[in-house]
A and B are shown apart, each in its own frame.
Chain A
């Protein structure tokens, strides 16, 4: 699983991109306002999916750490981690795939490209 910190970073980055686009309207951009607003919305949606993936990762780690103590062997610890990761695997994958696809779309929608 991708580290939570990286997912959160990417989420922040994409949200920032969306907001930047929005504020560029006020700065006197020549591009169509509606195009900018659509692209901006796509960036924000990407950020939401990335944040959701980060949330799933964090939940897995938290659940696992609740039952892991110093007496468990590394194998057992791994089993606990994997079991919890498996329970969210599809949701996690979907959120990553959707955010990837939407990122591509968002880049393509950038006015002027």
Chain B
């Protein structure tokens, strides 16, 4: 594509003003982040060139391939400018800038379309080079509706009652909008095509087709069609928008354009369709205005088919279940075929096999063809676009599967989502364990595909996830949370972007700017992120040896935090000295000997690594410089300075993971160091303490170290240690309930939980905390000027609190969304979780639950408490379960270490360890603890959990862990 150029001097001044205005308005929109996500990558540029006397060549360019150009009379541009000015004056909010604007494309497009009809601009030839796949296919305009899949066989009109169909037709003729919604396979597309056909049956209308499954389709496609199609004889256009659930933001943009065009006197009707879940959120559909909503009713058709096929009433329920409560015509048709052939309603497995047979997939397929079809089926299962390479592959294989895969615009896809799911299941069941060409789970394939496609499609997919979650059975609060956090996050984004634009240097605080840039990169706002990142890169000299160095006379503002940190270290040192014993840090690690500049630069090295890792444009040179600096830092000190602060190593390890060096020797060394770190005095390295007094909390340190280890991804032999530290972190977390008092801590804790826990109560708690944290960070009060600055000066909070928390929240929301997406995919393919297993899972939830399996034998066992003993609260019961895990992990850890030591002793003494054998004695003692814990655990599982039981556990915990044990109950008096 040609590089965009500025308007030339030969362009008439009025036109320049107009275009300038368009640019300015658009820029404002971009800054306000009010463009939908899809537009971030659609860099529309307006290029005006003189094209001869009295005409101007106008070109609209888009980085996504959109290009439209024409020679337009100067008078048209003049008129457009005057109209725009008049409109601005008429608007009461004209002076507010943002309020008076339209989207730049809308504004220009609207006036050009009007000019096209009034001045015959069509005659000047609008040339489009490439536009979305939704470009109207003229053969389709003339053709009858495009019946898809099984609609060919069915009495289509029954899917929507005749009276409703007439109302829809009338409404469309009146130039209004209609939305047809229904479940997957319920005949939406067929009905939409039918209604569009009915409208164009008697008069010559112009029809424009969009399918929002195609990410290239959007408002540009509509504009392009309007400018290239001849004017309709009937005087009105019909815009058909399929699958608006695929991208609500694009749908919003299309409807916005339609409104603008209607405002300019163009008669245009809209017939849209989408998932039934759209109805669950009217909030999201405000842009549809007063569009008529019609829902497909396929069950009547399915019932009639079943009756005609001879399905007896007692089998009708099974048949309906098979067909998604009679809502899926495609499945119903296949199930009836099976019924006719076999005389029975198919089971799930039989149905999958039958579907494969029906589409000739059960024959001999080459591995390449199988993989190709499987990709189609996986992506088709989730309404995902088929990538170009797969399209080419399909053509190359000349697949003889025309019934299964249909051509759609310039792409191919499996016609029905339900069929795609059955096909994906079939392939996965048969070839998942194939030694040569094993197939991944469809959910994994879909997720991988999203990763390859990138952020934009991911977000569109999340929009859909929101919709599904609102009505999904069993999604509960977590499902709705995704929708909630995703929308709340937008407030945070606005505030973050606003703050970043106001002051990209963040008051000369490079760490703040770096965290903000990292957060913005994570949120996909590269423009604002680049701005902040550039300031950081300007101020920190990456090439300085041995580590990046601050350029400037005065130190960076975050250096003040390190002064406060040093003071807290001194306090800690005093406390350790007062406690006596060998708990003091060694001489070089005492606060007075700590080199603050070195500490600051080491920390910043980690922050810069994270920043470079987040930048979507990977800069090899910068990353290598930082990595070399990290290696040098390690070489000099044998750790990341200073040794007493384990989170420093965690920060660097996180940075290494961010830049793709998680598997480097340096990262391995850092992990080894981190897991073997322990406080002075030979204490157990169960978890980490901050080493900075109360400047950083222990729970925050644990969370950061855990996150670093989990992100490195190869903890392996340290699993036990991680579990113990995780339990300790959760226990600490429960002591502190107010998220807003320690947002940094909570950001890290939530991230650690989301990484470590795949479900259950921990994750649910993390979601709650995430909601609270998001609400806090999305509040204007939180971002009030000088709040953080003032507190930072006092030393009560870190100066980087806000941008750091924003980054953590962005990471957590992303993690949450991707996890839920994966869960959704799996649910779709494998079916919803079994209700029986769910209820089983609930028995492991905290709370005094009666033992459903308690047998008389169990009741007679010695030591089982009597049922009449007082039960403990749900909170204590929860702590009890956590304590069991902690104690178990400690015992196993300790026994493993002693077994190794004893083996070594036996080897040295040729199996004669001697009469005095402390290791053997201690091992026996731990084996006894283990047996005791087994008994207690069994009793806890059988329930109820009584006070005696908890006390016994606490006693055992103290024996095993000593002072490090966190009791479930306070010690009994006396």
- Given the contacts A76-B901, A79-B916, A80-B919, A70 and B678 also touching, CB distance less than 8 Å: yes
Give the distance to chain A from B925, nearest Cβ to Cβ, in Å: 11
B685–A70 touching, CB < 8 Å: yes
Give the distance to chain A from B618, nearest Cβ to Cβ, in Å: 40
Query: Is A113's CB within 8 Å of the partner chain B?
Result: no
* Beta-carbon contacts under 8 Å, B675-721 to A: 678, 682-685
Surface stretch bound by A, among B542-550, B855-863, B892-900? B892-900
* Beta-carbon contacts under 8 Å, A2-38 to B: none
Give the distance to chain B from A62, nearest Cβ to Cβ, in Å: 12
B904–A63 touching, CB < 8 Å: yes
Give the distance to chain B from A83, nearest Cβ to Cβ, in Å: 4
Query: In the complex the two chains form, what is the Cα distance from A83 to B908 in whole Å?
Result: 6
A72–B897 touching, CB < 8 Å: yes
Query: Is A55's CB within 8 Å of the partner chain B?
Result: no
B908–A76 touching, CB < 8 Å: no
10 contacts between A and B (CB under 8 A): A67-B901, A70-B684, A71-B684, A72-B919, A73-B922, A76-B901, A78-B918, A80-B901, A80-B905, A87-B908
Contact with B along A63-100 (1 / 0, CB 8 A): 11011111111011011100110110000000000000
Query: Is B853's CB within 8 Å of the partner chain A?
Result: no
In the bound complex, residues from chain A placing their C-beta under 8 Å from that of B919 are 72, 76, 79-80
Pick the most buried of B685, B894, B919, B922: most chain A CB atoms within 10 A of its CB.
B919
In the bound complex, residues from chain A placing their C-beta under 8 Å from that of B922 are 73, 76
A63–B908 touching, CB < 8 Å: yes
B916–A76 touching, CB < 8 Å: no
Query: In the complex the two chains form, what is the Cα distance from A75 to B909 in whole Å?
Result: 17
Give the distance to chain B from A44, nearest Cβ to Cβ, in Å: 32
B685–A72 touching, CB < 8 Å: no
* Beta-carbon contacts under 8 Å, B572-596 to A: none
The listed residue (B683, B897, B905) touching A83 by CB distance below 8 A is B905
A80–B917 touching, CB < 8 Å: no
In the bound complex, residues from chain A placing their C-beta under 8 Å from that of B683 are 70
Query: In the complex the two chains form, what is the Cα distance from A78 to B908 in whole Å?
Result: 14
* Beta-carbon contacts under 8 Å, B877-902 to A: 893-894, 897-898, 900-901
In the bound complex, residues from chain A placing their C-beta under 8 Å from that of B894 are 71
Query: Is B913's CB within 8 Å of the partner chain A?
Result: yes
Contact with A along B913-928 (1 / 0, CB 8 A): 1101111001000000
Q: Which residues of B contact A (CB under 8 A)?
A: 678, 682-685, 893-894, 897-898, 900-901, 904-905, 908-909, 913-914, 916-919, 922
Closest residue on chain B to residue A70 by CB atoms: B682
In the bound complex, residues from chain B placing their C-beta under 8 Å from that of A83 are 904-905, 908-909, 913-914
- Given the contacts A70-B684, A80-B919, A86 and B900 also touching, CB distance less than 8 Å: no
Q: How large is the interface on A (under 10, 10 to 19, 20 to 34, 35 or more residues)?
A: 10 to 19
A72–B898 touching, CB < 8 Å: yes
Pick the most buried of A66, A69, A80: most chain B CB atoms within 10 A of its CB.
A69
Query: In the complex the two chains form, what is the Cα distance from A80 to B905 in whole Å?
Result: 6
By DSSP majority rule, is chain A's interface helix, strand, loop, or mixed? helix
The listed residue (A71, A72, A75, A86) touching B908 by CB distance below 8 A is A86
Pick the most buried of A71, A73, A78, A87: most chain B CB atoms within 10 A of its CB.
A71
Query: In the complex the two chains form, what is the Cα distance from A73 to B921 in whole Å?
Result: 12
B918–A79 touching, CB < 8 Å: yes
Q: Which residues of A contact B (CB under 8 A)?
A: 63-64, 66-73, 75-76, 78-80, 83-84, 86-87
Closest residue on chain A to residue B923 by CB atoms: A76
In the bound complex, residues from chain B placing their C-beta under 8 Å from that of A84 are 904-905, 908
Closest residue on chain B to residue A85 by CB atoms: B908
Query: In the complex the two chains form, what is the Cα distance from A72 to B894 in whole Å?
Result: 8
Closest residue on chain B to residue A69 by CB atoms: B897
Query: In the complex the two chains form, what is the Cα distance from A92 to B917 in whole Å?
Result: 24
In the bound complex, residues from chain A placing their C-beta under 8 Å from that of B684 are 70-71
A75–B904 touching, CB < 8 Å: no
Given A72-B898, A79-B914, 6 extra CB contacts under 8 A: A67-B900, A69-B897, A76-B919, A79-B913, A80-B919, A84-B905
In the bound complex, residues from chain A placing their C-beta under 8 Å from that of B678 are 70
Query: In the complex the two chains form, what is the Cα distance from A84 to B906 in whole Å?
Result: 9
Give the distance to chain A from B966, nearest Cβ to Cβ, in Å: 18
Query: In the complex the two chains form, what is the Cα distance from A87 to B916 in whole Å?
Result: 17
Pick the most buried of A63, A72, A73, A87: most chain B CB atoms within 10 A of its CB.
A72
Query: In the complex the two chains form, what is the Cα distance from A89 to B567 in whole Å?
Result: 51
In the bound complex, residues from chain A placing their C-beta under 8 Å from that of B893 are 71
In the bound complex, residues from chain A placing their C-beta under 8 Å from that of B897 are 67, 69, 71-72
Query: In the complex the two chains form, what is the Cα distance from A73 to B918 in whole Å?
Result: 9
Give the distance to chain A from B916, nearest Cβ to Cβ, in Å: 7
In the bound complex, residues from chain B placing their C-beta under 8 Å from that of A75 are 918
In the bound complex, residues from chain B placing their C-beta under 8 Å from that of A86 are 908-909
- Given the contacts A73-B918, A79-B916, A80-B919, A67 and B904 also touching, CB distance less than 8 Å: yes
A72–B904 touching, CB < 8 Å: no
In the bound complex, residues from chain B placing their C-beta under 8 Å from that of A72 are 897-898, 901, 919
In the bound complex, residues from chain A placing their C-beta under 8 Å from that of B916 are 79
Closest residue on chain B to residue A86 by CB atoms: B909
Query: In the complex the two chains form, what is the Cα distance from A68 to B905 in whole Å?
Result: 11
In the bound complex, residues from chain B placing their C-beta under 8 Å from that of A76 are 898, 901, 918-919, 922
Query: In the complex the two chains form, what is the Cα distance from A74 to B896 in whole Å?
Result: 18
Give the distance to chain A from B647, nearest Cβ to Cβ, in Å: 20
Query: In the complex the two chains form, what is the Cα distance from A76 to B922 in whole Å?
Result: 9
Query: In the complex the two chains form, what is the Cα distance from A75 to B922 in whole Å?
Result: 10
B905–A79 touching, CB < 8 Å: yes
Query: In the complex the two chains form, what is the Cα distance from A73 to B898 in whole Å?
Result: 10
A-B interface, 4 closest residue pairs, ranked by CB to CB distance from nearest? A75-B918, A83-B905, A87-B908, A67-B901
Give the distance to chain A from B922, nearest Cβ to Cβ, in Å: 6
Query: In the complex the two chains form, what is the Cα distance from A67 to B896 in whole Å?
Result: 11
In the bound complex, residues from chain B placing their C-beta under 8 Å from that of A67 are 897, 900-901, 904
In the bound complex, residues from chain B placing their C-beta under 8 Å from that of A64 are 904
Closest residue on chain A to residue B901 by CB atoms: A67
Closest residue on chain B to residue A68 by CB atoms: B901
Give the distance to chain A from B331, nearest Cβ to Cβ, in Å: 60
In the bound complex, residues from chain A placing their C-beta under 8 Å from that of B908 are 63, 83-84, 86-87
In the bound complex, residues from chain A placing their C-beta under 8 Å from that of B898 are 72, 76
Closest residue on chain A to residue B913 by CB atoms: A83
The listed residue (A70, A71, A87) touching B909 by CB distance below 8 A is A87
Query: In the complex the two chains form, what is the Cα distance from A96 to B553 in whole Å?
Result: 63
Query: In the complex the two chains form, what is the Cα distance from A83 to B909 in whole Å?
Result: 6
In the bound complex, residues from chain A placing their C-beta under 8 Å from that of B913 are 79, 83
Query: In the complex the two chains form, what is the Cα distance from A87 to B907 in whole Å?
Result: 9
Closest residue on chain B to residue A87 by CB atoms: B908
In the bound complex, residues from chain B placing their C-beta under 8 Å from that of A71 are 684, 893-894, 897
Closest residue on chain A to residue B906 by CB atoms: A83
- Given the contacts A71-B684, A75-B918, A80-B919, A66 and B909 also touching, CB distance less than 8 Å: no
Give the distance to chain A from B405, nearest Cβ to Cβ, in Å: 61
